[in-house]
Amino acid sequence: MLYREEYERREYEILDERAAKATESRGRLLEEEKCDFRTDYQRDRDRIVHSKAFRRLMHKTQVFLSPEGDHYRTRLTHTLEVAQVSRTIARILGYNEDLTEAIAYGHDLGHTPFGHNGESVLNRLRDQGFQHNEQSLRTVDKLELTSRRRGLNLTAEVRDGILNHRGDITPLTLEGQIVKISDRIAYINHDIDDALRSNIIVPGDLPKRDIEVLGRTHSDRINNLIVDLCTNSKDADKISLSTEFAEALLDLRQYMFDNVYNNEKVLKAADMNKVEVVISSLYRYYNEHPMEMPELYREIAVEDGNEEAVKDYISGMTDRYAIKLYSELFVPKGWQ
């Protein structure tokens, strides 16, 4: 049998000296006994994977609302792809795979129903705005219920990586930096794949200069980006792509915003109107009737105010649950 102490010892033997080590963690919000068999980062990964918030990702939109076909990405498949890219990079560079995987699995737990469009609606509705990375941290800290407590009580390194996987702040650990770049590598490339499958774009539409740098196929681009990132980050104190690859990926990202994410066929103006109506209607209704929310959110309403509780409730919904709830509240029974 392999006990936790053996894994902790092996981290010092196998991993790069710059890698995060479980025994050097800044700890948890609440002190607790160690597991006999798993390091703290392994334990965090398992807690996230077994959470209800993680399971709900399977029914949350990535880019395409109600796609026709079984092969389009959801928020869950995106998360799995980020975790795979991140873990591959961490293994090549000799960094902590368990920490990297835990951050990757938790980074999008706070995403709203209906993808970034739902996030935009909540952001407009709330005076304080809405950012899914902040909500992801709130989800693991306060909203996920366990048999012991409210919240998963994760380590500081995992919490930091989740919060700072987007934005201008650099994560504390190199593992967190890996996830931050892997998120972009994954979503740009798998969204290209989905856009091609849906005939929003054709291969010849992709910017020629960027494709010449990154690769012509999905697998080539992923492989080339990983190789470039690892080569450029070897023996460095920062995780980064080479200038050539970073510029090409940024340019390709801009192309996706201009031609896919904001494409009328993808947005489907009528569907986007429905997203606005569903989320704004639920938001107003539960602010006026907070006691009709589930018990957890009623408690949060008392602790943090109605708006915070309603934001928590709606952001945790899946696409289909939000639609179902809206139908029950606002659509006459004879019309359903």
Q: Would you list the DSSP string of 241-270?
A: --HHHHHHHHHHHHHHIIIIIT-HHHHTHH
Residue 269 — very low, low, confident or very high, per pLDDT cuts 50/70/90? very low
Q: How many residues does the chain have?
A: 336
pLDDT grade for 115, boundaries at 50, 70 and 90:
confident
The dihedral built from the CA positions of residue 184, 87, 135 and 278, taken in this order, carries a sign that is positive
Contact 95, 105 (CB under 8 A): no
Higher pLDDT, 101 or 262: 101
Residue 9 confidence (pLDDT) above 80? yes
Is residue 270 predicted with pLDDT exceeding 60?
Answer: no
In the predicted model, what is the mean pLDDT of the chain?
92
Averaged pLDDT, 305-314: 97
Q: Cα dist. 123→39, 116, 193 in Å?
A: 37, 10, 28
**Res 334: pLDDT:** 61
Nearest C-alpha neighbor of 136 from the set 158, 155, 169, 168? 158
Residue 111: phi and psi, rounded to 5, are -65, 145
Instruction: Find, among 122, 101, 275, the residue nearest to 178 by Cα.
Output: 101
| Position 265 pLDDT exceeds 90 | no
Phi-psi region for residue 241, left (φ > 0), alpha (ψ -120 to 50) or beta? beta
- Token representation of residue 136: 């992801």
Quote the percentage of the chain above a pLDDT of 90.
80
- Quote the pLDDT of residue 336: 54
Question: Is pLDDT larger for residue 25 or for residue 114?
Answer: 25
Judged by DSSP in three states, 162 sits in helix
Burial class (CB in 10 A: 0-12, 13-18, 19+), 312: buried
pLDDT of residue 261: 80
Most confident of 14-18, 60-64, 195-199: 14-18
What pLDDT was estimated at residue 63?
A: 63
Task: Write the CB contacts of 173 (distance below 8 Å, at least 6 apart in sequence).
Answer: 20, 96, 99, 157, 160, 161
Tell me which residue of 119, 46, 103, 108 sits closest to 77, measured CA to CA.
Answer: 108
Give the tens place of pLDDT for each residue, 196-238. 887 888 888 999 999 999 999 999 999 999 999 999 999 999 9
pLDDT of amino acid 331 = 83
Q: Considering only CA atoms, which of 113, 136, 126 is closest in space to residue 56?
A: 113
Tokens of 279: 């989320």
pLDDT of 332 higher than 90: no
- Per-residue pLDDT, averaged over 2-29, amounts to 97
- Per-residue pLDDT tens over the stretch 62-106: 765 454 555 467 899 999 999 999 999 999 999 999 999 999 999
